[in-house]
Amino acid sequence: MKKIVIALVIVLPVVLVGYFLLFKPEIPEAPDAVETNVGFVYVGPVGDHGWTYRHDVGRQAIEKELGVKTTFVESVPEGADAERVIRKLATSGHDIIFTTSFGYMNPTAKVAKQFPDVKFEHATGYIRADNLSTYSARFYEGRAVLGTIAGHLSKSGVVGYIASFPIPEVVRGINAFILAMRKVNPDAVVKVVWVNSWYDPGKEGDAAKALIDQGADIITQHTDSPAPLQVAEQRGVYGFGQASDMSAFAPNAQLTAIIDNWNPYYVSHVKAVMEGTWESTDTWDGIKSGMVDFAPYGDAVSADVRAAADAVKQSIIDGSFHPFQGPINNQAGEQVVAEGETLDDGVLLKMDWYVEGVQGELN
């Protein structure tokens, strides 16, 4: 027994040191100090066809338009590992580091404090500092456009909504969708199915099947895989793509898709670093800035429906319309926002109730 313990005491450190020498995280060598260097931390693989993929498209836009060097580390778990990766990027000569998932908030804030000369930008969080910005997109504006299209094209007036987790971001999207849909078809309803996952192609597809079986003739989703759209294509109903253009999976069924377009934001903020004008900001942009973008309309969207959808986009851009302007009723049919009033960002960020037209209870 004693021998084993001694052997372990000797062997373990050797193994550990060997492990760290052999399997160092793949962070490229320190880039040139004179140029501007940009680092990205991704939560998923760049091939997820969704969230991380769209951030990586933004990174490529920086390289193409500004000719600067970028570095990325993909599939970084949220937590202690993230802090190590972010610190490594900060110490290896990066001037600005984008951390692209909510769970990177605390690690980013911690590292930002230790490296006051490096700029940090964190997506979807709320902690800011002099060298730490936050940014996110108003996807609910896009949902309002989708709802408008659904209002025109749904014959049954029933839309199936495949949702991930009951957090304000998702609830806001559901509400914006049905509010816009009922402006076109006042009797429309949305059936919501929570799959309690961001990503489970099989279950997302099953949810789509269940919703279609129960009379939904349009499917929309706040989960990340193209499986629901594929089901819509097979069953001959319509749907909307999520995060990126998914028409390859549903050439007939995809009416349009909300596209996360981070390119202009990334390019302008890296440019600001290059010119020395970067400031800590809190960005929540929508259709106007192009951060919320759309895939081309599918063939099923007729000219007048396109015109109606474009009109909603235009009115959101010029500020004459807000997806959450009154009158808004809650599920019980009581007016909660009066005519002429609009919900402010504070309320939107905490939204935990359904508007009229959503079936089911929010727990």
Partner 1 sequence: MYDILIAAILTIITAATPLVYAAIGEMITEKSGVLNLGVEGMILVGAVCGFAAVHFTGSATLAILAGLGAGAGLALVFAVLVLGFQASQVATGLALTIFGIGVSALLGQDLVGIAYAGLPKISIPLLSSIPLIGPLLFNHDVMVYGSFMLVFAVAWLIKNSRAGLILRAVGDSHDAAHAIGYPVIRIRYLAILFGGGMAGLAGAYLSLAYSPLWVENMSAGRGWIALALVVFATWRPWRVFIGAYLFGGLTILQLHAQALGVGVPSQVMSMLPYIATIVVLVLISRDINKIKLNSPACIGKPFHPTS
Beta bridge partners of 294: 258
**C-beta closer to partner 1: residue 78 or 206:** 206
Shortest distance in whole angstroms from residue 289 CB to partner 1: 27
**C-beta closer to partner 1: residue 141 or 204:** 204
DSSP 102: G
**C-beta closer to partner 1: residue 201 or 264:** 201
Q: Does 171 bind partner 1 (CB under 8 A)?
A: no
Q: Does 225 bind partner 1 (CB under 8 A)?
A: yes
Peptide bond into 168 cis (omega under 30): no
d(CA 309, CA 144): 9
d(CA 82, CA 249): 33
Q: Which residue in 146, 150, 174, 183 sits closest to 359, CA to CA? A: 174
List of residues 6+ apart from 356 with CB closer than 8 A: 178, 182, 328, 329, 330, 331, 333
> How many binding residues for partner 1 (CB under 8 A)?
41
Judged by CB under 8 A, the residue of 27, 109, 129, 210 near partner 1 is: 210
**C-beta closer to partner 1: residue 210 or 274:** 210
Q: Does 290 bind partner 1 (CB under 8 A)?
A: no
Residues 177-206 as x/- pattern, contact with partner 1 by CB under 8 A: --------------xxxxxxx-xxxxxxxx
Judged by CB under 8 A, the residue of 48, 95, 217, 285 near partner 1 is: 48
With CB under 8 A as the contact rule, which of the stretches 47-55, 61-69, 255-263, 332-340 interacts with partner 1? 47-55
**C-beta closer to partner 1: residue 196 or 302:** 196
Q: Does 57 bind partner 1 (CB under 8 A)?
A: no
Q: Which residue in 128, 139, 163 sits closest to 349, CA to CA? A: 139
Judged by CB under 8 A, the residue of 31, 40, 43, 49 near partner 1 is: 49
DSSP 302-360: -HHHHHHHHHHHHHHHTTS--TTBSPEEBTTS-EEE-TT-B--HHHHHT--S-BTTEES
Q: Does 156 bind partner 1 (CB under 8 A)?
A: no
What count of other Cβ atoms lies within 10 Å of the Cβ of residue 330? 15
Shortest distance in whole angstroms from residue 127 CB to partner 1: 28
Shortest distance in whole angstroms from residue 209 CB to partner 1: 5
Beta-sheet strands, E only, within 179-303: 189-194, 218-221, 238-241, 254-260, 282-285, 292-294
Q: Residues for the chain: how many in total?
A: 363
Q: Does 361 bind partner 1 (CB under 8 A)?
A: yes
Site residues, partner 1 (CB under 8 A): 45, 47-49, 160, 166, 191-197, 199-207, 209-211, 213-214, 216, 225-227, 230-231, 234, 248-250, 359-361, 363
